[in-house]
Structure 1
Amino acid sequence: MNVLEFAQQLPSAPPPPVVDESRGLSRVANIRQDFVAPNLLEREGPQNAPAVLIIAPAAAGKSTAAEAIAASSNGLLADLAGQRVADGSFVGLLDEGLGEDASLTFKRSLRAGHSTLVLDALDETHVSSSEANFVAFLQGLARFLRTSQGARNVVLMARHESAEWVRFAFDTENVPIAELELDYFSRDQALAYLDLKLDALFRKNERTLAHRQHRESFQTSRDTVLSRLGEAAGYPTLDQAWTSANGRRLLGYSPVLEGLATYLHVPDFRNLDVGHLTTLTDTFPEWTLLSNLMLRLLEREHDKFLNNWLDDISRAMFTAEQLNNLYDVREQCSRLAVRSFKHSTTTDFDEQVPDSLVDSYRAAIESQLSNHPLLATNDQFVNSTFRDYVAAFVLVNGSHDEQRAVARVLRGGSDLPSPGLAPFMLSLLEDRALSTELLDLALASLGAREEARAQYSFSLRSLRSDGLLTIELDSSMGEAPAVMTVPTHSPGTVLLPARIKRLDLTTDDEVRIEGRSLRIGPDVQIDAMFVTLKGAECAIEAHRGLSIRGQIVTADWDQQVRISGQGLLIEAVESEGWVQRFSREPSLSEDRADVQEYYHALRRLLRFFRRTQHVAAGTLAADKEQIWRFVLRTDDKADAIMKTLTDDGYVRYHGPEYRLSQDFLASLALSFEDIGRAIVTPELSRFLHRVAQQAAAPESP
């Protein structure tokens, strides 16, 4: 049963004329031309209840459906937006809007089941009237209906939060109420809705209806865009997206379709870009498209907020830049994250608002958020895609405290990692660097995406020399793997997810792998300063060879460990926990013990050198204070190596830094990564022997 079929079952005695429209009453003559009747799902309540509650998320078309029901049933529409209600307001509303005599006649007709009344915008009046007054209003309505002989001829439209109070009020008055739910559009309904929205857009701009005139070209472009969005939600085919409840919450949601209509509003569909809308490479074209769509939805909310809140006088108190910053995308995502993820870290957005408007601003924000199109309830998103976007936006653009708060919630969530989080994070980064403190969330999301989609896999390689994270994606259909390179920024720690299949990571920082159950392998190589494995259990698949190298590698002694395969290699100068049973020191098997120590000293030194933007190509820089404090002060062999490198001209002083020429590594026939992987060449062995001999030689008098 759709909305119009439901309306045709309602009584249709005409209501009296409205004498005072300020009370929100009106008679709707016609159904809007762009209306597509969504289906109604039966929830609960008796068929002969005097009232019916229709529940839907914000921006799902409740008001449009309310108008259609009123028009089709010849009923009276009560738009409660802007109305303050309390006990007795229901009768007062009718008396003032219709006049006392006409109101008395209408109320009798309503109780007799001959007329229909549609109450819309309950959520708005809930916010403006206070909870106690809102409940009192509903209880008054329920008492009015206690002796009603009608069946479902009083229709209430509300979101889930307000619906709870409707149930409570009718329950306390012992009056039954039926419940229906406004469903998301089906595939056919969504396509019809897109057509009608495009009709309106083309006519508004006095253009030819290109989507009808060039139907085949339009349908191809439309289906391609919808397929992209379906892929973004994790569905390999469009059919699978439409048959999934979560897929329909995205593709069949009217705000998403309205955004798509504006995107498809072009004169020539052959030139439509269906997936390359940001500076991101084409690795995730469907996610760049969806990111762009999400941005449009939030920018529209920004415009709507300003129009609802500011009059001409108040608007003149702000500069154009300040208006752009009010309730912008960042503020919306920040506030939505606080609501949904329930963290307490907040940003003060009120400082740009004049003191005289702060209270008004906060009240308007509360009302706008309560009806935000991304939310199905007060703190639950309409679908997982909206949730992923908000989380990714805060992780990429939020303050450091906000990032940590949201990351903490995501790491503790039972339904995460979500396959959609990483693509949104990467598309929102643009040319900025990804913090390695968030790397675990990005990699866990890519891993979940790999599990969810056929013919999709990814591997990762981090190149220490230039701070880049390289993700190789073997996407589908036998095509060559796509490669995406993302700059990274490390505050000193690289966090990795509990599940790692393929990883080649070399870093100067600490690496932490944390989770309740760790699963590592089969293709993993890690080389870091410190490596920590933290979790209740750890499963390692080492059939193809798995290596973990670090100055210090630690794990818990009581960690339950399961190792399959014989290829596990753990190299560490120091180790703690169960890894001690498998670890060995990096060695030069044919060299003397003191030469091995020089080798460890060289590795320690080189970990402090890195390529930075302020040094010339072919040169690495290291902080003199750090090297002195952590290496040279306590390691005489490292000190001997530095003297030799200085004498050979490979190291020179430059203010607070040491500068190392990469010609030194070339002279050893090694790369920077080779040193980290304990690769030894004859040239390296000869160099270490020379340093050891020079250090052992007596000093000249």
Structure 2
Amino acid sequence: MLLSDLCRSLRGPIDWYGLQSDQYGVRESKQENPSYEVPEVREVRTCEPLTPSLILITAPAAVGKSTAADFMSNFLKCPILDLSFLQVGDGTLEGALAKSFGIRKNAEFSESLMESQATLIVDALDEAEVRSGQANFRAFVRGLADTASQVSGDRAAIVIFSRAESSRLLQEVFDERRLQYAHFEIRPFGKEQAQRYLERRVSDVYRTRGKEFLHLRHAGPFAEARNILFRVLASAIDSKVDDFWSESDVRDFLGYAPVLDVAAEYLAVDNFATLGSPIGFSQGSGFDQWGLVATVIDQLLLREQSKFVTQFMLMNIFQQHGNPSLHPILYSPEEQCARLLDYVENMSLPLELPAGLPIALREGYETAADTQLSNHPFLRGDGWFNVIFRDYVTARAQRAPQTSETAAKTIRRNLLSSGWKHSPMYAFFSHALGKDSSGRSSSCHSEDVGALYESFKSICETDDQLLTAVGRVASRLVATFSIDRGNEESVGPLHFFTHEGTTSVTFPRELSYANIWEIPEVILGGDQSSFKFGPGVYISSADLLFSSSEIQVYVGSEETPVLLTAKTLTSDSLKIQADAPKFMVLCEEELSFPWSKYQRRIDLGGLAADSREKRALYLELRRIVLRFKDAKDGEAAVYQPFMDNLVIGGNERARKVLDYLQEIGCVSLFRSMYLLDFAKFAALGISRSQLRDLEMTNSAMMVSVDLLKFSKK
């Protein structure tokens, strides 16, 4: 049902009662808002067959509760008790009405209210809770319940607007008093409502900029751009749904007024055709929508900060000890993110109050911030409103300069735990929030790489392949992720450079199609008992550690086996489930059971240093050649950006091997593809199957010698 239908079930006077003063928190919304988009409401609780004394209407932050209150006031010709600037307590309701109406009119209005012949709207309950403190707020709620219990007519006489979290105390008091009430929730806009609202907001943006309303003049191109934008934003939540407006999670996000407000800024352009380019937004890239989503969420955090500061500065304690210079540091987006993670995920983060906050303000600030947090727009009850907000908060908290290393480490530990349910959003937000000035790469801690892998993996469908490359460049690592979707457009590659001096990576659950080269320390396994390998894994590290108690290897007969090479390998009471040809280990030290079954030895002879380098070059040759896929008779191929960005990356040794293959004519570059000539490669005397199984023939040893000579030139 619509909010207007709910209004018709109530009763208002023929005309306004008329206020003597609007200085005491009571107002009348006499000006009709013709552009108001009447929302749908959903009944959460009913007291039928009994008659409710009051109606509670809840909604998340920024849905437009105050605008809805104004609509009802105008529809019913009834007053609004606006608590947004009041310090509430016992007797606030009666005092505000008496001072606003005067003694005679207040008596007339109160009598009509008790007989359900008039309606009173109470708005901004959540804001009063922040400013007044719990004791005063509870006293006000008890007084409101006392008044509602005296209503004796045949319909509700009091309507209360609040965020869901602030309404809990009301419901507890109402239930204790056995007060009959109905509870409705304002729903986000549906498709048609959102389109109408967005059109008006675009008009507002054009008007502010002093420009012509181009979306009305060019309705067709505007509608196409609007629909693309909706589709792009919806794909951030569920890429598999065509009728995305029918999905509640999508509607909750797209129908959220602040999301539409930001969307209006994007759509108010001079040429709607430009919105199909990367400058605007695009479906083709696979991740462009996340910059837009991040902007929307950032605006919500700034809005919440502004709302808190407005309320906190009206408190007596701030007026005594505060000053305007403190405003920018109060309840910052970064502080909100840290508090939200601590509140919802129980991370026990060391939360620090804003630097420069006077000691006299600290206790009052902490209390007000805790109260405001329980009403945060990113929350629904004690949990997240949706996973989009969770992952944005997590990614931003990790990357905030204000986050201590202890707190960041706690967040990373949670992300790598089995209890964290990964979504693609964390990886995309991490890339968007940490991007450098070029926009091509992002930064992260090396211990974030495993969580990024899990996040990207969560977007993959059955036939998708997540291709991962991680390598060392000086005192940093570079990690590259790309999703290969066969004939469909792929996602990525996305590049991450780790912070200076962070060179240890952990993969907690599984690993497939990954090239990991020259990493000082690689840890496989987390708090789960088993770690799973898929095909196409190559790891080269100084120290390789297994923290799980079991390894399972899933590699098909025609797939590239897992190859691990390390100076030292550490595990404890490990069980390995793998066929020996599909799981191979190279280690400088002699390994004991169960590793001894899978250990291979490559003795290339010669001096020790040259021997190690020949082995390393040969392993790079193996890794590169096995990436080529049969294309046509006599040739195999690999996409150039994939080879250059993922297989080679910053690996100088791998680059030398590719240069060698090109110099001897085995590999050539044609348009955007590297081509491998089977006949010329066969002349080397080694086959791809021998490479796959690490068969060290005389020809293989000759090739490794040639590789070493070439690399020294």
Task: Give the alignment's Cα RMSD to 1 decimal.
Answer: 3.9
- What one-letter code is carried by the residue in structure 2 that aligns with 1:582? K
User: Contact between 2:321 and 2:360, CA under 8 Å: does it hold in 1?
Assistant: no
How big is the shift at 1:50?
0.8
Task: Tell me whether 1:499 sits opposite 2:510 in the alignment.
Answer: yes
Structure-2 residue corresponding to 1:648:
none
How big is the shift at 1:393?
1.2
How big is the shift at 1:399?
3.6
User: Contact between 1:234 and 1:419, CA under 8 Å: does it hold in 2?
Assistant: no
User: Contact between 1:75 and 1:116, CA under 8 Å: does it hold in 2?
Assistant: yes
The verdict on how the C-alpha distance between 1:535 and 1:37 changes in structure 2, with shifts beyond 3 A counting, is: farther
How big is the shift at 1:424?
0.9
Task: Tell me whether 1:462 sits opposite 2:470 in the alignment.
Answer: yes
Q: Deviations over 1:519-568 (max 9, x none)?
A: 22022222212222323544320222112222233334265x54368411
Task: Tell me whether 1:557 sits opposite 2:573 in the alignment.
Answer: yes
Q: Deviations over 1:468-519 (max 9, x none)?
A: 2222232575347743333234524111131323211113321112231422
User: Contact between 1:42 and 1:179, CA under 8 Å: does it hold in 2?
Assistant: yes
- For 1:577 and 1:556, the matched residues in 2 are separated by 11
User: Contact between 1:330 and 1:393, CA under 8 Å: does it hold in 2?
Assistant: yes
Q: Deviations over 1:424-472 (max 9, x none)?
A: 1112221243222011110001011114xx7754211123357422222
- For 1:109 and 1:98, the matched residues in 2 are separated by 14
Structure-2 residue corresponding to 1:10:
10
The verdict on how the C-alpha distance between 1:144 and 1:310 changes in structure 2, with shifts beyond 3 A counting, is: closer
How big is the shift at 1:598?
6.8
User: Which residues in structure 2 correspond to 1:149-188 (within 5 Å)?
Assistant: 149-150=152-153, 151-188=155-192
The verdict on how the C-alpha distance between 1:416 and 1:470 changes in structure 2, with shifts beyond 3 A counting, is: same
Structure-2 residue corresponding to 1:79:
82
Between 1:243-252 and 1:363-372, the stretch displaced more is 363-372
- What one-letter code is carried by the residue in structure 2 that aligns with 1:428? L
Q: Deviations over 1:361-395 (max 9, x none)?
A: 66765566455443344x53322112111111122
- What one-letter code is carried by the residue in structure 1 that aligns with 2:219? R
User: Contact between 1:458 and 1:502, CA under 8 Å: does it hold in 2?
Assistant: yes
User: Contact between 1:533 and 1:555, CA under 8 Å: does it hold in 2?
Assistant: yes
- What one-letter code is carried by the residue in structure 2 that aligns with 1:239? D
- For 1:686 and 1:219, the matched residues in 2 are separated by 62
Between 1:460-469 and 1:124-133, the stretch displaced more is 460-469
How big is the shift at 1:602?
6.5
Q: Deviations over 1:109-136 (max 9, x none)?
A: 1121111111111111112222232222
How big is the shift at 1:169?
0.9
Task: Tell me whether 1:532 sits opposite 2:545 in the alignment.
Answer: yes
The verdict on how the C-alpha distance between 1:687 and 1:45 changes in structure 2, with shifts beyond 3 A counting, is: closer
Give 1:547's match in structure 2, choosing from 552, 560, 563. Answer: 563
- What one-letter code is carried by the residue in structure 1 that aligns with 2:494? M
User: Contact between 1:554 and 1:575, CA under 8 Å: does it hold in 2?
Assistant: no
Give 2:429's match in structure 1, choosing from 406, 424, 434. Answer: 424
Task: Tell me whether 1:260 sits opposite 2:263 in the alignment.
Answer: yes
- For 2:707 and 2:493, the matched residues in 1 are separated by 38
Structure-2 residue corresponding to 1:291:
294
Structure-1 residue corresponding to 2:534:
521
The verdict on how the C-alpha distance between 1:91 and 1:198 changes in structure 2, with shifts beyond 3 A counting, is: same
How big is the shift at 1:328?
4.5
- For 2:359 and 2:545, the matched residues in 1 are separated by 50
Give 1:441's match in structure 2, choosing from 423, 445, 451. Answer: 451
- For 1:183 and 1:350, the matched residues in 2 are separated by 36
- For 1:303 and 1:374, the matched residues in 2 are separated by 16
Task: Tell me whether 1:587 sits opposite 2:599 in the alignment.
Answer: no
Structure-2 residue corresponding to 1:111:
114
Between 1:472-481 and 1:12-21, the stretch displaced more is 472-481
- For 1:687 and 1:478, the matched residues in 2 are separated by 37
The verdict on how the C-alpha distance between 1:480 and 1:170 changes in structure 2, with shifts beyond 3 A counting, is: closer
% identity of equivalent residues: 25
User: Contact between 1:463 and 1:470, CA under 8 Å: does it hold in 2?
Assistant: no
Q: Deviations over 1:162-198 (max 9, x none)?
A: 1110111112212122111111111111111111212
Give 2:196's match in structure 1, choosing from 192, 195, 203. Answer: 192
User: Contact between 2:89 and 2:139, CA under 8 Å: does it hold in 1?
Assistant: yes
> TM-score if structure 1 supplies the norm length?
0.78
Between 1:14-23 and 1:344-353, the stretch displaced more is 344-353
How big is the shift at 1:579?
4.2
**SS of 1:553's equivalent?**
strand
User: Which residues in structure 2 correspond to 1:172-251 (within 5 Å)?
Assistant: 172-237=176-241, 239-240=243-244, 242-251=245-254
Task: Tell me whether 1:338 sits opposite 2:318 in the alignment.
Answer: no
User: Which residues in structure 2 correspond to 1:47-62 (within 5 Å)?
Assistant: 47=48, 48-62=51-65
- For 1:577 and 1:25, the matched residues in 2 are separated by 81
- For 2:463 and 2:456, the matched residues in 1 are separated by 13
- What one-letter code is carried by the residue in structure 1 that aligns with 2:127? E
Structure-2 residue corresponding to 1:351:
355
Give 1:386's match in structure 2, choosing from 389, 392, 401. Answer: 389
- For 2:106 and 2:334, the matched residues in 1 are separated by 48
**SS of 1:267's equivalent?**
coil
When the two structures are aligned, how many residues end up with a matched partner? 616
User: Contact between 1:670 and 1:681, CA under 8 Å: does it hold in 2?
Assistant: no
**SS of 1:343's equivalent?**
coil
Task: Tell me whether 1:488 sits opposite 2:498 in the alignment.
Answer: yes
Structure-1 residue corresponding to 2:669:
none
Q: Deviations over 1:338-361 (max 9, x none)?
A: 333333334545224566776776
User: Contact between 1:228 and 1:275, CA under 8 Å: does it hold in 2?
Assistant: no
The verdict on how the C-alpha distance between 1:21 and 1:569 changes in structure 2, with shifts beyond 3 A counting, is: same
Structure-1 residue corresponding to 2:144:
141
- For 2:178 and 2:260, the matched residues in 1 are separated by 41
Structure-1 residue corresponding to 2:416:
411
**SS of 2:534's equivalent?**
strand
Give ranges in structure 2 of 5+ residues lacking alignment. Answer: 437-441, 618-651, 663-690, 709-713
